[in-house]
Chain A
């Protein structure tokens, strides 16, 4: 149903219908911003990526062909923009690694909620980018297996492998040390 309603709104948005534009932005921009924020760990950069994603979408609306769901296409564009930025970061700061020591979790009762959130976000930001993308799309945004695989342009098996590795790493960093202490 959402797919059919997307098509109608895309057609109207392409003709400059402000209500259809508003509906598309309201429906999809939070997800795009969330993906970019998790991938980049930087609010300002995530906003830039969100804006750029929609600018590309507006340019493509006129010739839109519904080969994929609009949301899948949007997330894929956003993800590729994030990959580009992460790649540029590595070129500019090749030796810089995310800080590890100050975000590791200690005993559960000594952590408040804010510290825990910070530790989890830091652990996600240390994941390899494709693992981070798989985790964000599936575990945080609730995309289906097929949808996430399509967004990432990988097979379902590859997606499951990326997600398994991401969760194993997080488990090791966030839970096993804590449970041992």
Chain B
């Protein structure tokens, strides 16, 4: 086993990294601990001083994050990107049935208007044009649902 740790290097480690071997650099840790364990009296004073300083540093309070600061940081974070162009902003892809059902309703209304609308007569209160518009808008002809039909 190559043993390269010296008293001087161990004192340097203690003074630089503190009294706890866990905080020493990995490369020096094992050999440093071995030397310290073998001759603790040689390093008692630097260990005691380092421990005092470690305690003082360890007693410093950690600054606390406030909710406001965390929120401000998160508000500046990237936002989800919307896929596609401007059309996709109008047509929400999470509810693809919505625009489809609108188009179907319009087509059905047009069909109903063309096939089942009664012929206009001079006695009607509304003009043929208005009736056609009404049928298209509703999707059915209210005249077909007159009270006498139900009876």
Contacts and interface: CB of A to CB of B under 8 A. Distances in A.
A139 to B, nearest CB: 5
A114 B53 CA distance: 16
Contacts of B16: 160, 163-164, 167
A5 interface: no
Do most interface residues of chain A lie in helix, strand or loop, or is the interface mixed?
A: helix
A50 B73 contact: yes
A78 B32 CA distance: 34
B57 interface: yes
Interface string B9-34: 00010011110000101100000000
Given A47-B69, A175-B49, A15 B76 contact: no
B53 A30 contact: no
B102 interface: no
B16 to A, nearest CB: 4
Nearest to B57: A139
B52 interface: yes
Interface residues of B, number: 34
Interface stretch (A16-24, A65-73, A83-91, A93-101): A16-24
A43 B63 CA distance: 8
B150 interface: no
Interface of B: 12, 15-18, 23, 25-26, 49-50, 52-54, 56-57, 59-66, 69-70, 72-74, 76-81
Which 10 residue pairs spanning A and B have beta carbons closest together?
A: A16-B80, A21-B77, A164-B16, A37-B63, A54-B73, A145-B25, A16-B79, A16-B78, A120-B56, A58-B77
Interface of A: 13-18, 21-22, 25-26, 29-30, 33-34, 37, 43, 46-47, 50-51, 54-55, 58, 61-62, 113, 116-117, 120-121, 135, 138-140, 142, 144-145, 156, 160, 163-164, 167-168, 170-171, 174-175
